Amino acid sequence: MKIVGGPSSIDLARKISEMLAFPLVNIRMKRFPDGEFYVKFEENIAGENLLIVQSLYPPQDIHAMELFLILHTARDLGAETIRVFVPYLAYSRQDERYLEGECLSAAMIAEIIESLGADSLYTIDVHNENVLKMYKIPVYNLTASGELARYFAKKTLERPLVVAPDDEDLAKRRAAYAARVLGADWDALEKRRDRYTGEIVTFAKDLNARGRDAIIIDDIISTGKTTANAAKILREQGAKRIFVGVSHALLLGDSIRLIMESGVEEIVGTDSVVNDYAKVSVAPILARALRGDIEQV
Ligand code: R5P
């Protein structure tokens, strides 16, 4: 197998290539003066089995277009099989028409990836599992919860408590999984988001957090409101130290300030999103998955 690193995930692709001892394919990408992309494979890939690595964190439309161009070119140049690893699968919110007339953007992304010739898709902690039902090719929704928990396990924690900041089934499964890896307890808060205003309300409940170190585990930090609400509740209930482990640390706008002011000591993200908070790599998760060890919640 050969690894193709897309522009959004070149370091991650390099790590996967080193971990599996599969070579990186040399590609060249640039922009024409009008902004359009130019893509060139610098070596012959006809008959090769490829793994394309490209995360779709913001600017997601640019990263998506890069992925589509690389995928199309790889198929066009005769790659034998193409696995696609998209750690952050953007457009995973809209799997159904919540309001009349809405676009099913998740379905559109699935149609494009499939029609461009992907044979299988690997992703990390997809926001909504229902979007994966839109694919006819095999799709593997891996979890970073274990790797995040292993990061926190290296710290000396006081009776750690893992907290899901909302009580959706997937959020609870991620927290339970991280807690199992850490050998800790876990609990979940209940959260409601207004579909029109985006405002978030988190309902307080007794988390038995007094004197303990807490780790909030979530799939995405976007505006930071979900994390900040959970951290405030934990602080009010006497938690000692509060950490956040998140698969996709988008950290938009004012989110970092909001989270730190709510009493969080450290934000830990993964290299699904390239920023200063990418302290955990998803490379070992993918490497294990390719060897048949699929880590899922
Ligand atoms: C909930 O639906 C998700 O798991 C995340 O909690 C959410 O996307 C985080 O968004 P924000 O940072 O804007 O509160």
pLDDT tens for 178-193 read: 999 999 999 999 999 8
CATH at 196: 3.40.50.2020
- Tokens standing for residue 197: 């205003």
119 and 76 belong to one structural domain = yes
Helices (H), the chain: 10-20, 60-76, 105-115, 145-153, 169-182, 225-236, 255-261, 283-290
Q: How many CB atoms lie within 10 A of CB 123?
A: 24
Residue 200: CB within 6 Å of ligand 1? Answer: yes
124 and 215 belong to one structural domain = no
Please tell me which residue, 112 or 99, carries the higher pLDDT value.
Answer: 112
Residue 226: CB within 6 Å of ligand 1? Answer: yes
Distance 234 CA to ligand 1 centre (A): 17
Distance 218 CA to ligand 1 centre (A): 8
8 and 53 belong to one structural domain = yes
User: Which of 69-78, 129-138, 200-209 shows the lowest per-residue confidence on average (mean pLDDT)?
Assistant: 200-209
193 and 68 belong to one structural domain = no
- Residue positions annotated with a catalytic role: 191
109 and 227 belong to one structural domain = no
Residue 219: CB within 6 Å of ligand 1? Answer: yes
From 95, 131, 143, 219, give the residue whose CB has the most ligand 1 atoms within 8 Å, as the site to mutate: 219
Q: Is residue 274 part of a domain?
A: yes
61 and 159 belong to one structural domain = no
**pLDDT above 80: residue 282:** yes
Closest atom of ligand 1 relative to the 165 alpha carbon: 6
Q: Is residue 188 part of a domain?
A: yes
Whose CA is closest to atom 14 on ligand 1? Answer: 226
Q: Is residue 104 part of a domain?
A: yes
pLDDT tens profile 11-68: 999 999 999 999 999 999 999 999 999 999 999 999 999 999 999 999 999 999 999 9
Q: Is residue 296 part of a domain?
A: no
From 220, 223, 232, give the residue whose CB has the most ligand 1 atoms within 8 Å, as the site to mutate: 220
Distance 213 CA to ligand 1 centre (A): 22
164 and 250 belong to one structural domain = yes
244 and 268 belong to one structural domain = yes
Whose CA is closest to atom 9 on ligand 1? Answer: 221
Q: Is residue 297 part of a domain?
A: no
- 31 close to 37: Cβ distance less than 8 angstroms: yes
Task: Provide DSSP, 48-93.
Answer: -EEEEE----SSHHHHHHHHHHHHHHHHHTT-SEEEEEESS-SS-S
119 and 28 belong to one structural domain = yes
- pLDDT value at residue 164: 97
Residue 83 pairs in a beta bridge with 51, 120
Closest atom of ligand 1 relative to the 198 alpha carbon: 13
116 and 151 belong to one structural domain = no
Distance 220 CA to ligand 1 centre (A): 5
**pLDDT above 90: residue 93:** no
% of the chain exceeding 70 in pLDDT = 100
Mean pLDDT of 218-227: 96
- 162 close to 285: Cβ distance less than 8 angstroms: no
Q: Is residue 185 part of a domain?
A: yes
Q: How far apart are CA 169 and CA 188, in angstroms?
A: 10
Confidence tier at 296 by pLDDT (50, 70, 90): very high
pTM for the complete prediction? 0.95
Number of folded domains in the chain? 2
Q: Is residue 76 part of a domain?
A: yes
- pLDDT value at residue 204: 86
Q: How far apart are CA 281 and CA 161, in angstroms?
A: 23
Residue 92: CB within 6 Å of ligand 1? Answer: no
Q: How far apart are CA 272 and CA 143, in angstroms?
A: 11
Closest atom of ligand 1 relative to the 228 alpha carbon: 14
Residue 104: CB within 6 Å of ligand 1? Answer: no
Confidence tier at 194 by pLDDT (50, 70, 90): confident
Which domain does 136 fall in, by range? 2-143+282-290
59 and 164 belong to one structural domain = no
% of the chain exceeding 90 in pLDDT = 94
Q: Is residue 272 part of a domain?
A: yes
244 and 254 belong to one structural domain = yes
Mean predicted lDDT score pLDDT of the chain: 96
Q: How far apart are CA 52 and CA 49, in angstroms?
A: 10
**pLDDT above 80: residue 195:** no
User: Which of 1-10, 84-93, 125-134, 196-205 shows the lowest per-residue confidence on average (mean pLDDT)?
Assistant: 196-205
